[in-house]
Amino acid sequence: MSSPSRPPGRERPRGRSHAVRRALRVVVLSIVAVVVLEGLASVGLLTGDIAAIRRPPVANFRQSAYDSLVGWVSFPNLAIRDDFGPGLALTTNADGLRIHRPVARALAPGERRIMCSGASFTFGSGVADGDTFCARLEQELPGVRTLNVAQLGYGVDQSFLWYRRDGARWPSQVHLFIVNGSDLDRTASKDLTGYAKPVLAVDHDTLVARNVPVPRWTGWSRWDQAKGLVPDLRIAQVVANRVDLSETAQYRRVDAKVWPMMDVLLRDLARLDRERHAAPVLVYLPGEPEFAPGPRDERRRHIARSAAAAGIPVVDLTADLRAVAPDSLDWMYITPNALPVRGSGGHFTPTGHRWVAQRLAEHLRALPSTAAALALPPAAAPAAIASR
C-alpha cells in the first residue's frame, strides 16, 4: 500500500526553517570568531607589552641589603654621586642611615635631636642628601640635630619594626613617625614589586610579625612588573565592571586589614617612646592628589583618632597643603613637567621639602610636648599661608 501523498506546500516550511538555522549558525560562528580574535588580539597586545618591559634605569633598592626582619635596609657607607640624577647624591653612614653630615650616636651636652622615621617621602627620593625636610629642620630649628632613619619603600609596619629593634641606639628627644597614604597601602601587603616584607597582625591584643624571616629577593623579574598590566585585559575590565573598584572601595578593603593592627601599633609606639624618653609625633604627609578633598580624607581622620587614643599628637599637613596656591604644586612635587629625576615621580622636590620643613617646624614649636623636649621658645599655633 502506497504511503499517502503529502499535501502540496508542506516542504516549504522545512526549507525556511533550515535557512533560519543556517543563518543562526553563521551569526553564532561569526560572534565566536570575533570573540576569539578579540581574545587573541588582547593576548597579543599583552604579550607585546610584557616583552617591552625593561629593567628600570635606576633599579629599585639597588642601594639596599636584605634584612630578615624588615625586608631591606640601606647599604652602609654608600656614596653615590648621581643616584637620582645629576648632582643628586645619596650618602649613608656606617649604620646605613641617610646623612647630610657626620652623625654621632651620643649627643653632646645640651644637644637635642629629632629622629625622622618613615618611607620614601621622608628618605628623600629624588633629592640630594641635604635637601630632605628632615635635614632642613636643622636650619628651621637652630641648635637641633636631626637623624633620618627612613627607608625607601617601607610600609608603616616596617617603619615601626625597624624603630622597635634599632631606634634605641640613637637617643632622641623627639620622634617623628611619618606616614602617607602609600605607606598605609603597603602595610596591607607582604611584598613590594617582588621584594618580600613582613606583615603585622594582632593576636590577643599583641602585635605579631608574620612572613618572618622575610624570604630573600630572587632578583628583578619582568613578571612582577607585568602584574600592573592585568587591568588592561578585557576580561579584567569585565570583572571590574562587576566589582566596586573605586578609590573609596579600594581604601576600604585595605583599611579593613590595616586599622585593627594600626591601633595596637600606635599604642606600642607611644609606650616605646616613653621608655626612650622621646616625645612622639605622628606626621601625615599628603601627596599631590590630596590637594583636593577625596576618599583619603576619612583615612587621615581615622589615623588621627587612633593616634589620639594612644596619646600621640598629630601633625597633618594636608590643611597646610590646601592653603597653597594651586599653581605652586608643580614646584613642590616631582612631575613630568618638573625636575628630570629618575624613579621619583610624585615625591617632593627640594622646594617641597623646604616647605615641609618650614611648616613642620612651626607645628613643633606650637606643640607643648615637642617645644619642651627641644627647649624651643613657645610659639602660637601656625597659621595657614597662601604659598611658600
320 neighbors 291 (Cβ within 8 angstroms): no
Please tell me which of 16-30, 73-87, 242-256, 345-359 the model is most confident about, judged by mean pLDDT. 345-359
Say yes or no to pLDDT of 119 above 50: yes
Among 38-52, 97-111, 204-218, 252-266, name the one with the lowest average pLDDT.
38-52
Q: At 131, list the grid cell.
A: 635637601
Give mean pLDDT, residues 91-109: 94
pLDDT band at 14 (very low <50, low <70, confident <90, very high): low
Domain boundary among 25, 52, 79: 52
- Residue 372's pLDDT is 97
Please classify residue 79 by burial: count the beta carbons closer than 10 Å to its beta carbon, then call 0-12 exposed, 13-18 middle and 19+ buried.
exposed
Per-residue pLDDT reduced to its tens digit, 312-365: 999 999 999 999 999 888 889 988 765 556 668 899 999 999 999 999 999 999
Q: Does residue 176 sit in the same domain as residue 294?
A: yes
Q: Does residue 47 sit in the same domain as residue 194?
A: no
Residue 290: inside a domain: yes
Max intra-chain CA distance, the chain:
127
Q: Does residue 349 sit in the same domain as residue 232?
A: yes
Domain boundary among 6, 32, 52: 52
Residue 299: inside a domain: yes
Per-residue pLDDT reduced to its tens digit, 130-182: 999 999 999 999 999 999 999 999 999 999 999 999 999 999 999 999 999 99
Q: Does residue 132 sit in the same domain as residue 30?
A: no
Say yes or no to pLDDT of 221 above 60: yes
DSSP E strands in 82-196: the ranges are 90-91, 112-117, 144-148, 174-179, 191-192, 195-196
Nearest to 307 by CA among 178, 154, 117, 205: 178
Q: Does residue 329 sit in the same domain as residue 290?
A: yes
Say yes or no to pLDDT of 243 above 50: yes
Domain that holds residue 30: 16-52
Strands 112-117 and 90-91: unpaired
Q: How far is CA 26 from the centre of its chain?
A: 52
| DSSP of 41-66 | HHHHHHHHHHHH----SS-TTTTEEE
- Residue 386's pLDDT is 37
Strand partners, 98: 92, 148
Q: At 165, list the grid cell.
A: 629593634
pTM of structure: 0.80
Residue 108: inside a domain: yes
Among 85-89, 169-173, 263-267, 270-274, name the one with the lowest average pLDDT.
85-89
Strand partners, 178: 283
Quote the number of domains for the chain.
2
Residue 143: inside a domain: yes
To the nearest whole percent, how much of the chain has pLDDT over 70? 77
Per-residue pLDDT reduced to its tens digit, 369-380: 999 999 998 665
- Residue 194's pLDDT is 80
292 neighbors 218 (Cβ within 8 angstroms): no
141 DSSP 8-state letter: S
